[in-house]
Structure 1
Amino acid sequence: MKNLSKKIKNNRQHIKTNKIYPVKEGIKLLKNLQLAKFNESIDAAFHININTKKSEQNIRGSILLPYGTGKKSKIAVFATGKNAEIAKMLNVDAVGTEELADIIKKNKTKFDVVIASPDTMNIVSKLGPILGPRGIMPNPKFGTVTENIEKSIQEAKIGKINYRNDKNGIIHSSFGKINFSTTQLYQNLKILFNAIKKSKPNQLKGIYCKKISLSSTMGPGIIIDHLSL
């Protein structure tokens, strides 16, 4: 077994393994642990009671976090004409059509957000096998296939995130940085959780969210009492 560092051992001493923490107490605990030398992200894992083999039960959506994520996203925009000019004026990381598709195919740059105008989807649709697994395939439901390129870019810059479950029925999402206040992190988490609850499939019965765990990038995970959100 790999030896644990003193930092990890020290952090684990502050965590009660079987305890379910009130939300704000859990957030404060993560903030007070011995930190890495960089500004860590705070992540949530929502364990959802769905059958991922049934397409109608899979969860996906987008939400604008009130305090953003604290992360500067790399944004690529597929657009032509006026929409392309708007994207360039807003200083996104890349704008184009076929040449931008080639950059993505060759994996020269990894983008966090990809936005497309409808007239470019014949090009973008071919990138599904690359962008789909990363969760960044443009989608009208997420507002990333749109004629309103300006709005979509602005939302991406200030903290709009997409969420979806993995094959195990877990939704992983960052909702802020360790240097955010407890209140900011709590409000971001609450907005995100409410959006996930609203995405509950109509035919699903019984318990929807089984568990929520929080962690920082380098810190241990804790379980929180999601009923208090």
Structure 2
Amino acid sequence: MFRGKKYKDSAKQIDRGTLYDPKEGLELVCKTASAKFDETVELHVKLGVDSRHADQQVRGAIVLPNGTGKTARVLVFAKGDKADAAREAGADFVGDMDMVEKIQKENWFDFDVVVASPDMMGVVGRLGKLLGPKGLMPSPKAGTVTPDVAKAVKEVKAGKVEYRLDKTNIIHCPIGKVSFGADKLYENYSALIGAIIKAKPAAAKGQYIKSCVAAATMGPGVKMNANKQI
């Protein structure tokens, strides 16, 4: 893969053989971010589980103390009072079958998170093949299928992030922007790692957190010691 001069210069400041203290690692991520825009800082956590087994799934959601630095666009599937409450809470789009048809017919995906009241899941289920591959399907575990859609909308707007394993047993999750600085990023990092540790499946054996890498959008990755007690 071709790497630009800025990336190479940034990479020289990082010792690839070192497992950095998380706070120090996040300081390095901020220091080596060289893009002209405010880069997102993402955490990549490899777990010692096998996502092919249902009893070893790791998935959940958490409101980051300092938010993500990005305001998520929320689509809510609800009717009546719940729909009104979702609008009042700040939902960007609210509807039922009209939204299903818009997604199906227009290939419309101008939203980041989908929230649904339980009675709407029969309708939302028709979008499984479209929302599922994009990681947009609402779920009770992530708190996005709930009778209290207004609360869910407020949490998403406050910086709630969902974490889940991919097929290679890695969780990829944003923890803020470079402009946050190392202290605020560390607070978000601690909250996310704490949630991942709490979500450890009983069936997981051996070392749970195999590796943890933080990286800005255009920057090099920094390996961190996530097993160090938070």
Matches within 5 A, 1:7-22: 7-22=6-21
1:143 corresponding residue in structure 2: 143
Q: Which runs of 5+ in 2 are unaligned?
A: none
d(CA) in 2 for partners of 1:196 and 1:73?
22
2:124 corresponding residue in structure 1: 124
- In the superposition, relative to structure 1, how do residues 34 and 191 fare at CA in structure 2: closer, same or farther (>3 Å)? closer
1:99 corresponding residue in structure 2: 98
Matches within 5 A, 1:168-179: 168-179=168-179
Letter in structure 2 aligned against 1:38: F
Deviation at 1:14, TM superposition (A): 0.8
The answer to whether structure 1 residue 192 and structure 2 residue 192 are counterparts is: yes
Deviation at 1:34, TM superposition (A): 4.4
Deviations 1:59-110 (A, max 9, x none): 1111111111111111100011111112222332211111111222232233
Q: Is the 8 A contact 1:49 1:209 kept in 2?
A: yes
Deviations 1:158-201 (A, max 9, x none): 01111100000000000111011322111111110111111111
1:113 corresponding residue in structure 2: 113
Deviation at 1:141, TM superposition (A): 1.8
TM superposition score normalised by structure 2: 0.94
Letter in structure 2 aligned against 1:81: G
Q: Is the 8 A contact 2:47 2:170 kept in 1?
A: yes
d(CA) in 1 for partners of 2:52 and 2:109?
32
- In the superposition, relative to structure 1, how do residues 10 and 154 fare at CA in structure 2: closer, same or farther (>3 Å)? same
d(CA) in 2 for partners of 1:226 and 1:162?
19
Instruction: Describe the SS at the equivalent of 1:108.
Output: coil
Instruction: Describe the SS at the equivalent of 1:145.
Output: coil
d(CA) in 2 for partners of 1:192 and 1:205?
21
1:153 corresponding residue in structure 2: 153
Instruction: Describe the SS at the equivalent of 1:205.
Output: coil
Q: Is the 8 A contact 2:72 2:113 kept in 1?
A: yes
Letter in structure 2 aligned against 1:132: G
Deviation at 1:220, TM superposition (A): 0.5
Letter in structure 2 aligned against 1:161: V
Could you list the structure 1 runs, at least 4 aligned residues long, displaced by more than 6 angstroms after superposition: none
2:39 corresponding residue in structure 1: 40
TM superposition score normalised by structure 1: 0.95
Matches within 5 A, 1:22-61: 22-61=21-60
Instruction: Describe the SS at the equivalent of 1:212.
Output: strand
Moved more, 131-140 or 9-18: 131-140
d(CA) in 2 for partners of 1:217 and 1:178?
9
State the percentage of identical aligned residues. 40
Q: Is the 8 A contact 1:103 1:109 kept in 2?
A: no
Instruction: Describe the SS at the equivalent of 2:212.
Output: strand
Paired residues in the alignment total 228
Letter in structure 1 aligned against 2:135: G
Instruction: Describe the SS at the equivalent of 1:21.
Output: coil
Moved more, 138-147 or 172-181: 138-147
Matches within 5 A, 1:69-84: 69-84=68-83
Moved more, 153-162 or 15-24: 15-24
